Amino acid sequence: MRVTVIGASGGIGREFVRQAIEVDHEVTAVIRDSARGGAAVREWERVPVGGPGRLQVAVVDTLSPGELIGAVSGRDAVVSALGPQGRSGDQTVNSRGVRAAVMAMQEAAVTRIVAVSAAPLFTDGSLLFRAVLRRVAWALFGAHYADLERMETILRESGLDWTTVRPERLTDGAGTREPVLRVDRPAPGLSMTRADVATAILRLLPDAGSVGHPVGVGRP
């Protein structure tokens, strides 16, 4: 599969690129020219691949349709692994980036997109989840979750074959490579490694049953 990853130098994006090229997908990693982007490229260069041309890096200045169209043209799918860099980071990056990606995809006639969202957008789940955890999460990160809601609205209205992944609280470290996926509802667990979120995205990209749905990602 030929996949473009937007936000490729972030925690989930870096891990997705690494896993995807390990299994011989052709990946275009979209990064902004920064120290973090350079570190990501050096990390990917150490991953054994099945042949030449499996990884391309596209450096952009802004998340705009004009800059993204070259990176998405001719691809089978797009992954958005965007996210703010901490609570002081840009809290509109998800909706702005996905809106630009959608416009570029529509122009390039690319239809499949999987975007990283978050579990607190679910309104169902256990009493503990509804009454405590979701309320606390919104109190702490409400601006980010509000932007994710805007992002998901953009996807629903796009006409594209979209899926959003909604993991629990993100952590670093090695993943299990066996994340639990739940369509339209939260998955078990209170935290999720970025590595397992990347694995979940790889599993969902070819999954027609997930099109048009949010998918909870949790621990086995």
pLDDT one digit per residue (tens) for the chain, 220 residues: 999 999 998 999 999 999 998 888 999 999 876 666 667 777 776 666 555 558 888 888 888 999 999 999 999 999 999 998 766 667 799 999 999 999 999 999 999 999 999 998 987 755 555 556 666 666 666 688 899 999 999 999 999 999 999 998 899 988 888 999 999 998 988 889 999 999 999 999 999 999 999 999 998 7
Q: Which domain holds residue 164?
A: 2-218
Distance CA(176)–CA(178), nearest Å, equals: 5
Question: Do 28 and 56 contact (CB within 8 A), yes or no?
Answer: yes
Total-model pTM: 0.89
Domain count, the chain: 1
Q: Is 51 exposed, middle or buried (0-12, 13-18, 19+ CB in 10 A)?
A: exposed
Grouping H, G, I as helix, E, B as strand and the rest as coil, residue 2 is strand
Looking up residue 52, the CATH number of its domain turns out to be: 3.40.50.720
